[in-house]
Amino acid sequence: MTLSQVLTAAQMRSAEQALFDSGTSGSELMETAAGGAAEWIRRVAAGRAVTVLCGPGNNGGDGYVIARRLREAGNAVTLVAPLDPSTEAAQAARRRWGSPVATADGGGPGEVFVDCLFGSGLARPLAAEHALLLRDLAARHRYRVAIDVPSGIASDGGAVLNERLPAYDLTLALGAWKFAHWSLPGRALMGQVRLVPIGIAPVEGAAVLVGRPSFSAPPTDSHKYRRGLLGIIGGAMPGAGLLAAVAAQRSGAGYVKLLAREADPRTPPDVVTDTAPLEEALADERMAAVLIGPGLGRSSQAQDVLNGALRQARAVVLDADALMLLAPAMLPQGKPVLATPHDGELAALCRSFGVIADGRRERSLALARVSGMVVLAKGPDSCIAAPDGRLALGSPAPSWLSVAGTGDVLAGIAASRMACGRDPFAAACEAVWLHGEAARRAGPAFTPSQLAERVSEALAACL
């Protein structure tokens, strides 16, 4: 699986310092980063006039380099800088620019606007005059590019720090992804996001961005049990378990069983229903993983079923009602458990486990650490947190996923990957990618069952 690191502003500063310590100067690093960004802008500008807005820090220094490179490539460039450069590298970049600099609006309408006012170090709102200048310049241009992080968006969380910030067509991340590139609400203003590499080394403990998994076909001597037997425990609303089962069958598991008190006539002929007493069904040593929660209900009987599953199953995925019934004392020690809450369920789990934190990322990490579960906090900017502090961020998936039943599909995919032998963190990452890819292939306004049917196509894209 491709996993690109996602850095906080502090981690990025440390990573850049490592380059300086190895002999790279600030100006050399700026030329590398801004030069890569300038090449992107040169291509999208296609000879059109460009206006570059520079701030006082190194993000502004990048802007001076970008402006100089574009001028050398033949573009007409206007450079606007309301503040003088304050860092040594930015001052050197301005000297190399060597042409007039406007301090206000920079004239009439243009074609391409480049925002280098403030970058990833900003954690407070823009001053009123700078916000006004930014909005005014952006409004006059047809195409807008932000360098590293758009001005007025918090790098470490994606918060929008000012009202009426412009929306961009392209955001160029310098050196590494930042949390803002994959976190709402800021992400919604960034347009396409692209990474400009500058030689940053892997950072220990960094979060990662979930990428396309890499799968292979089953070995020639495989059989259904070797590929993984998954049990899905039914309940009061059997349709949810059926959706999960259809998705699980298309996600790699060799055998998917519905564990229910009685067979449902709607069950497809290729889904086996096991009506044996649950304790007996779970005693099957070939059962690699169990999914419980979709359609389970919240009765005392459902809680007993959950207790039994947690006690007997080798590996467990908890979703939906199971998350609302779960109490800390019910969790077994040392057993692989994956929880897949939406925001409401995540809040309920945090109350149950005594977690106090703000934001999906922080809550997920704290809950994983306290509970010992891997937590897949699903939503428009999903994240996966492990008890050891690992964190993965899901890339944007189609907003058509915001329909009832798609969470059951995600749970089925994740449980199937665990039945195939993946640990909960890897299974969650693979499930998030497959879920999003299936949605892309399903097109607009799909039903959950149509989404589930596309999962095998998403898996095939990983072979």
Q: Let me know: does 208 contact 393? Beta carbons within 8 Å.
A: yes
Confidence at residue 103, expressed as pLDDT on a 0 to 100 scale: 86
Mean per-residue pLDDT, 401-429: 97
pLDDT of residue 119: 83
Strands 383-385 and 374-377: antiparallel
Pairing relationship of beta strands 170-174 and 192-196 according to DSSP bridges: parallel
For the chain, what is the mean pLDDT? 94
| pLDDT for res 431 | 98
Residue 62 above 50 pLDDT? yes
**Between residues 266 and 143, the one the model is more confident about:** 143
- Mean pLDDT within 98-124: 85
| Section 81-108 average pLDDT | 89
CATH superfamily entry for domain 8-203: YjeF N-terminal domain (3.40.50.10260)
Q: How confident is the model at residue 106 (pLDDT cuts 50, 70, 90)?
A: low
Going by pLDDT thresholds of 50, 70 and 90, the confidence category of residue 107 is low
pLDDT for 104 equals 78
Q: With a cut of 80, say whether residue 171 has pLDDT above it.
A: yes
Beta strands in 72-214 (DSSP E): 77-80, 110-116, 141-147, 170-174, 177-178, 192-196, 207-210
- Mean pLDDT throughout 186-192? 97
What per-residue confidence (pLDDT) applies to 370?
Answer: 97
Instruction: Identify the pLDDT of residue 182.
Output: 96
Fold for 224-460, please state it: UDP-N-acetylmuramoyl-L-alanine:D-glutamate ligase (3.40.1190)
Percent of the chain with pLDDT over 70: 98
Region 180-203: what's the mean pLDDT? Answer: 95
Per-residue pLDDT, 1: 41
The structural domains of the chain, with segments of one domain joined by +, span: 8-203, 224-460
Q: Which of 228, 391, 396 is nearest to 317 (CA)?
A: 228
pLDDT for the residue 2: 43
* pTM value > 0.85: yes
Average pLDDT of span 107-130:
88
336-389 pLDDT tens trace: 999 999 999 999 999 999 999 988 999 999 999 999 999 999 999 999 999 999
DSSP code per residue over 334-370:
T--EEE---HHHHHHHHHHHT---SSHHHHHHHHHHH
List the single range of 95-104, 379-388, 440-449, 452-461 with lowest mean pLDDT: 95-104
Tell me the Cα Rg of the chain: 25
84 pLDDT band, cuts 50/70/90, is: very high
pLDDT of 270 > 90? The answer is no
| 250 burial type by CB count under 10 A (0-12 exposed, 13-18 middle, 19+ buried) | buried
Count other Cβ atoms within 10 Å, centred on residue 279.
Answer: 11
What integer pLDDT is reported at residue 121 of this predicted model? 75
Range with the lowest mean pLDDT among 18-22, 189-193, 267-271?
A: 267-271
Give me the sign of the Cα torsion angle 134, 80, 69, 58: negative
